[in-house]
Chain A
């Protein structure tokens, strides 16, 4: 869903000056400024959820961090490191039994920042959609071979086909069209989650 620039400024209370300053400082990605034709020529729209969440993050951080620090935190770049299970125990978002299940299914004990984001999203999905641990393990197994291809700028979605669930990993801002028996019942952005945890666990990501 999109939001117009005018509505965005009205809802968030930010000025044109702030919006363009944050764009110049790379706090808001240029590709989120989507120009569409209107009766006055062109109007700019944004991906609604992403821009609102990003502006909230900027407003929360702006008194604690410099613009440069915020740009680093909010950029989708991640450290090229692997983090061990022992270090991941400090993440309260990953309950220990679930973490062990991830280790078992993925058959590894160290994880990249993007894999950790994926695990955090799966835990959130489990809570929000009340999915059993066994079923979550099956879903994870289903995307095991695709995990290495996950990049920033993607989203994780949960598809419901009749009574069955399937995971979907797709690029941000893509239009997904399904037949009527398939429904996207949950989705979350990798970049947004990454930004959130970059702030929360500065050293880790």
Chain B
């Protein structure tokens, strides 16, 4: 297996490689298997990606499924066409955007995540940006009764489902788990918790199922 190093513009055909280092602009035409993929430039992939380590410090655009042991995001990573991520561990200090399922044993995010579904064992999404986010009512009643609620959360996820969940500054539709902590400035529509549920007093939760007792911070 050979290494691939890109510092300019390049194309990768499908195949099996050892380390792929992208510091330029790289287009990947097919399915790729590698030990490690490191992105500092712009990387776009049409095929499936399978690797032990995927590091994205630049911009990564993916159109098909990603299966890795470790995923580190410090740049911007986006997945289209319902492409999924399967990873043992995910660390995100950058931006992750996905229309598919993200499945992992452990996710720790301090950046910004927009996703349809995050599932796994332990999911931690911490955004202190939530408290600084734009969240106010514009009362335009004098201009014809329009009242609009504008909110801008750092992370928005449709469904989070895991054994242990800790979220801060996240807007979510469904949060299902065993041990769930809805931290400061979250806005969650439905929570289904089979163990312990903690809700911060600045968080909003519309419906709670499963637990009979909610601990409020």
Contacts and interface: CB of A to CB of B under 8 A. Distances in A.
A81 B39 CA distance: 45
Interface in B139-188: 158-159, 161-164, 173-174, 176-178
Interface in B23-39: none
Interface magnitude class on chain A: 10 to 19
Given A6-B192, A9-B194, A41-B159, A16 B178 contact: yes
Contacts of A18: 121
A24 interface: yes
Interface residues of B, number: 23
A17 B194 contact: no
Interface SS of A by simple majority: helix
A23 interface: yes
B119 A40 contact: no
A23 B103 contact: yes
B178 A15 contact: yes
Given A9-B194, A40-B190, A41-B173, A15 B121 contact: yes
B24 to A, nearest CB: 32
Interface string A107-121: 000000000000000
A75 B68 CA distance: 21
B103 A16 contact: no
Contacts of B120: 16-17, 20-21
B163 A15 contact: yes
Interface in A72-105: none
B21 interface: no
A71 to B, nearest CB: 13
Interface of A: 6, 9-10, 15-18, 20-21, 23-24, 40-42
Q: Which 5 A-B pairs have the closest CB atoms?
A: A17-B121, A17-B163, A15-B163, A24-B86, A20-B119
